[in-house]
Amino acid sequence: MEYYESLGLVREPFMDTADPYFFYQSHSHKETLQRLEISVRLGRGLNLILGDVGTGKTTLAQALEMELIKDDTFVTCKIMDPTYSSEEEFLEAMLMLFQLEPQPGASRLSIKNTLKNHLYHLGVEQNKRVVLVIDEGQKLTYPCLENLRLFLNYQTPQRKLLNIVIFSQLEILPVIRAKANFTDRIAVLYKLEPFSREETHRMIDYRLQRAGLSKPRDLFTTEAKDLIFERTRGKPRRITMLCHNAVEEAIIRNQDTVDADIIRALTDRFAGLPDWDALAEEAQPLILPSGIRQGPATPGISAEPAARVSESLVQRPTVAERPREEARPVERAPVVAETLPPVEAAAPRESAGNGFFNRLFGGRR
């Protein structure tokens, strides 16, 4: 018997994999998917989705890919790790994505013409919408970005022949800020937010329900879910990993529910370990532009300025050192996203015209 079967489950509910079956769509995720689907259907070209470590970018990329596969008018290709040592290596990888055979000794110009002709064949002769999904976009180099910009020039009078969707950590911002002719082409720009308290509760319940838990039963107490939210700062990956460990701990203790004591014991146990997400932020401190519109306020969460640089790890107390009632509040990441008009019919929002790009990229359009 698998361990989860003893709790009335038929599947492992908290595996740390990008499985669309367990993908809980928060408000932020749902809006991002809707905007991306509208953008690629209209053939608008470049889309950039930003998010901190563990906010669900890879899972969202998988969900988008699964959605597009349902429509046979789309041709979808994906780069999971855009680490290329040279421009030639990147162009050859693009050929292989489209199942085109690289010609020995072919020049870069020849490869680009081959790609252009193939995109024309797919987009015009076969009336397909071609979508290139790139995960880990912060690894893209200047030559790669320049080639992506060139590919966006391949278009008909009605639409782009290639739609590009980049999922990236915030480290990509200083790189693209230096390329005004790249940022000018961004149609959708969105920053994923951590979950709110309510979304954290719903994510846990949703995964348990998808794993086969019968509705009348609560495997996690309300107090446990509250503490999970506080200790994970609303980041989906941390929530998933903590819940997995909590279910195992409940089985070891011979309990049929996960209570706050289990969550407290687990988080206190690992309190002395490094905060790897924070270490990544400290390695390359990034100050977001001031004045960017904040997302909706979340009850019980402190609202700090978007320009705040990560606190020093030395000064941050561990979970064990903080009083229980003063657990670190969770920030809602600011939404940094709008779509260039005209797009879908939606509630009036701030336009992503000159004013938005001026705030984000220092006035270059």
Instruction: Give yes or no for residue 270 having a pLDDT over 80.
Output: no
Q: For 122-142, what is each residue's pLDDT tens digit? A: 999 999 999 999 999 999 999
pLDDT at 81 over 90: yes
Q: Which of 76-80, 174-178, 286-290 has the highest mean pLDDT?
A: 76-80
| Band (268; pLDDT cuts 50, 70, 90) | confident
Identify the top-confidence range among 47-51, 306-310, 322-326. Answer: 47-51
Tell how strand 186-191 and strand 338-339 pair up. antiparallel
Q: Is residue 3 part of a domain?
A: no
* Domain residue limits at 133: 22-193+335-361
Radius of gyration of the CA atoms of the chain, in A = 22
pTM of the model: 0.72
Summarize the confidence of residues 103-114 as an average pLDDT: 89
Whether residue 11 is contained in a domain is answered as no
Band of the pLDDT at 165, cuts 50, 70, 90? very high
Q: Residue 46: which pLDDT band, with cuts at 50, 70 and 90?
A: very high
Q: What is the average per-residue pLDDT within 39-59? A: 93
Q: What is the pLDDT of residue 310?
A: 31
Confidence of residue 286 (pLDDT cuts 50, 70, 90): very low
123 in the same domain as 29: yes
Co-location of 260 and 304 in the same domain: yes
Q: Find all residues with CB under 8 Å of 150, minimum gap 6, and list them.
A: 112
The predicted model gives 28-45 an average pLDDT of 93
Do residue 176 and residue 228 come from a single domain?
Answer: no
The predicted structure's pLDDT at residue 273: 53
Tokens of 10: 């038929």
CATH number for 229? 1.10.8.60
**Residues 163, 42 share a domain:** yes
292 lies in a domain? no
Q: Which of 194, 246, 183 is nearest to 220 (CA)?
A: 246
How far is the C-alpha of 176 from the C-alpha of 183, rounded, in Å?
Answer: 6
Domain-embedded: residue 2: no
- The answer to whether residue 218 is domain-embedded is yes
9 lies in some domain: no
| Residue 174 sits in the same domain as residue 51 | yes
Q: Which of 53, 105, 56, 346 lies closest to 207, judged by CA?
A: 56
* pLDDT band at 34; cut points 50, 70, 90: very high
Q: Is the pLDDT of residue 60 over 70?
A: yes
Angle at 45 between CA 40 and CA 49, to 5 degrees: 75
Spatial separation of the C-alpha atoms in residues 355 and 28, rounded to whole Å: 22
pLDDT the model gives residue 231: 93
Domain assignment present for 101: yes
What is the C-alpha to C-alpha distance for residues 173 and 286, in angstroms, rounded to an integer? 9
Residues 172 and 136 in one domain: yes
Q: Are residues 256 and 167 in the same domain?
A: no
pLDDT per residue as tens digits for the range 347-356 = 333 333 334 4
Predicted local confidence at residue 118, as pLDDT = 95
Q: Is 63 exposed, middle or buried (0-12, 13-18, 19+ CB in 10 A)?
A: buried
Q: State the burial class of residue 21 (Cβ atoms within 10 Å of its Cβ: 0-12, 13-18, 19+).
A: exposed
Number of domains in the chain: 2
* Domain CATH code at residue 35: 3.40.50.300
Is residue 236 located within the same domain as residue 89? no
Instruction: Tell me whether residue 214 is in a domain.
Output: yes
Both 61 and 130 in a single domain? yes
- 138 and 83 in a common domain: yes
Whether residue 218 is found in the same domain as residue 102: no
Q: Which tens digit of pLDDT belongs to each residue from 208-260?
A: 999 888 775 789 999 999 999 999 999 999 999 999 999 999 989 988 899 99
Confidence of residue 42 (pLDDT cuts 50, 70, 90): very high
Task: State residue 3's pLDDT score.
Answer: 67
Checking if the pLDDT of 164 tops 70, the result is yes
* Shared domain check, 157 and 48: yes
